[in-house]
Amino acid sequence: MQKLPNLTAAEAIPDAAMAEVERILQTGDLFRYSSDQSPVTLLEAEFAQALGSKFALAVSSCSAALFLSLKALQLPRDAKVLIPAFTFAAVPSAVIHADCIPILCECGSDYRIDLADFEKKIPECSAVIISHMRGHTSNMDAIMELCDNAGIPVIEDAAHSLGTTWTGRNIGTIGKIGCFSFQSYKLLNAGEGGIMITDDEDLIAQAIIMSGAYEHNWQKHPVLHSAFAKWQNQLPLYNLRLNTLSAALIRPQLDAMPDRVKLGRRNHDHVAAHLANCAWIAVPSALQPEKRAPDSIQFNLLNMTDAQVDGFVEQAATLGLKVQVFGRSTDNARAFWNWNFLRSNPDQPKTRAMLNRACDVRLPTRLSLDECDVVAETILDAIDTTMKA
């Protein structure tokens, strides 16, 4: 069998970005508000246009974007915010940071929100964050209907879902606010960074001020300015701005986005088809209205004991492949029972069962189909060895 490709190395930053970084370093102009046409402002305009939303605000991380979204919604202290039990620890953390209380909602074996549990918990909550984990989109039609009927705002945590569409609409534009990450493991890589999008003038005005547009720096945002007068000097400044260099790294990658989305989906579907014949594996399929943009693959191990699951992970590692079973790796930040910083953390048995069998393998968009074959064959080989033992 051919050698396994490197699944963890990042892709090179485009030459255009390097040239722009060099130019900026020559000027020393690293602060977004020191010029009117900062790369950060340009990135916001380009990102909003690419996604089809009115406003964008670039910040230091997706976590910062989630935090500012909750603050801009003016939720009272101790308001309950419904979040999926399958999400990254940064999500309940953002809720706590905003002085709110995270309420966990069960997720199913397809990694998506369990709608029955969601509907049950909605009445006690004042806002909702939907994490489209690893790009798996929860049923946004059902979620929006339930939340609209209850008059509850939806924030989409689309950190890892950039490029995914739902009935042709970009993920992140369906709720009131969409938040994305530019951390290195996401589709657009600046090392760190995030961005929020919304069509709501009042929310973006507040978020801009709180992100650190002190005094009249908000005038450098090409956003309708009437909303700012109301909020001038009324909001704390959390200083979560994006560095100019980070925006310079992202902008040329925006052009590469459609290709990355296509290649990621091709690679994912190729490996998924390869794994489909294995009796010990189930790969949840996309929902009908969803067009995914994956850079990894998730699959569930069926009819295996804990020991067999752990044996499979070990065997894959021996063959050089890192497989993460969310619930079986120590201190995993996506296992809700590790969130000991929560005041109350009741068990979510459905999500727990899923996390103990859900495997995660990186599948970078740069892989060739031959390299994808090696990944799939290594997974099947490790299963085979484990289940024969």
Measured CA to CA, the distance from residue 79 to residue 126 in angstroms comes to 6
Q: Does 137 bind ligand PLP (CB under 6 A)?
A: no
Of residues 112, 136, 160, 241, which one binds ligand PLP by CB under 6 A?
A: 160
Q: Does 24 bind ligand PLP (CB under 6 A)?
A: no
Q: Does 357 bind ligand PLP (CB under 6 A)?
A: no
Q: Does 90 bind ligand PLP (CB under 6 A)?
A: yes
The 167-196 site mask, x for binding ligand PLP (CB under 6 A), equals --------------x-x----------x--
Q: Does 130 bind ligand PLP (CB under 6 A)?
A: no
Q: How many CB atoms lie within 10 A of CB 326?
A: 22
Segment interacting with ligand PLP, rule: CB under 6 A, options 21-29, 61-69, 141-149, 376-384: 61-69
Of residues 40, 70, 91, 249, which one binds ligand PLP by CB under 6 A?
A: 91
CB of 41 to ligand PLP, least distance (A): 20
Q: Which of 134, 373, 135, 383 is nearest to 267 (CA)?
A: 373
Measured CA to CA, the distance from residue 26 to residue 42 in angstroms comes to 19
Q: Does 61 bind ligand PLP (CB under 6 A)?
A: yes
Q: Which residues pair with 291 in a beta bridge?
A: 165
Q: Does 114 bind ligand PLP (CB under 6 A)?
A: no
| Cβ contacts of 82 within 8 Å, gap of 6 or more | 103, 105, 118, 121, 122, 125, 127, 128, 129
Q: Which residues pair with 211 in a beta bridge?
A: none
Residues touching ligand PLP, count (CB under 6 A):
15
Q: Does 112 bind ligand PLP (CB under 6 A)?
A: no
Measured CA to CA, the distance from residue 106 to residue 69 in angstroms comes to 23
Q: Exposed, middle or buried: residue 202 (CB in 10 Å: 0-12, 13-18, 19+)?
A: middle
Measured CA to CA, the distance from residue 225 to residue 361 in angstroms comes to 46
Q: Does 351 bind ligand PLP (CB under 6 A)?
A: no
Binding region for ligand PLP (CB under 6 A): 61-63, 87-88, 90-91, 131, 133, 157, 159-160, 181, 183, 194
